[in-house]
Amino acid sequence: MIDKKWIEQGFIDEPITVNTDIKAEIKRMCKEKNAVIMAHYYTVPEVQELADFVGDSLALAQKAA
């Protein structure tokens, strides 16, 4: 169960249940908030998997502009 507070905050600040699909929930929240995830190329693979854009600092800045 996803707590409404998490959606309002934009982050989860407490333990979650094991049956919550975090990746799906993050993608759903991004779509709901019209948000994107940008990750630097040196972040862990789990973050890069979720990212809409992966690159170095310059590429991310250009994409964000």
The confidence score (pLDDT) of residue 2 equals 67
- Domain boundaries along the sequence of the chain: 1-34, 36-65
Residue type, 35: A
Judge whether residue 50 has pLDDT over 90: yes
- Between residues 23 and 54, the one the model is more confident about: 54
Q: Global pTM? A: 0.66
User: What SS3 class is residue 62?
Assistant: helix
Tell me the C-alpha to C-alpha distance, in Å, between residue 51 and each of 48, 55, 60: 5, 10, 11
Nearest to 26 by CA among 44, 42, 13, 10: 10
For the beta carbon of residue 21, count every other beta carbon within 10 angstroms: 9
Tens-digit pLDDT profile for residues 15-47: 777 787 888 988 988 999 999 999 999 999 999
- Between residues 37 and 3, the one the model is more confident about: 37
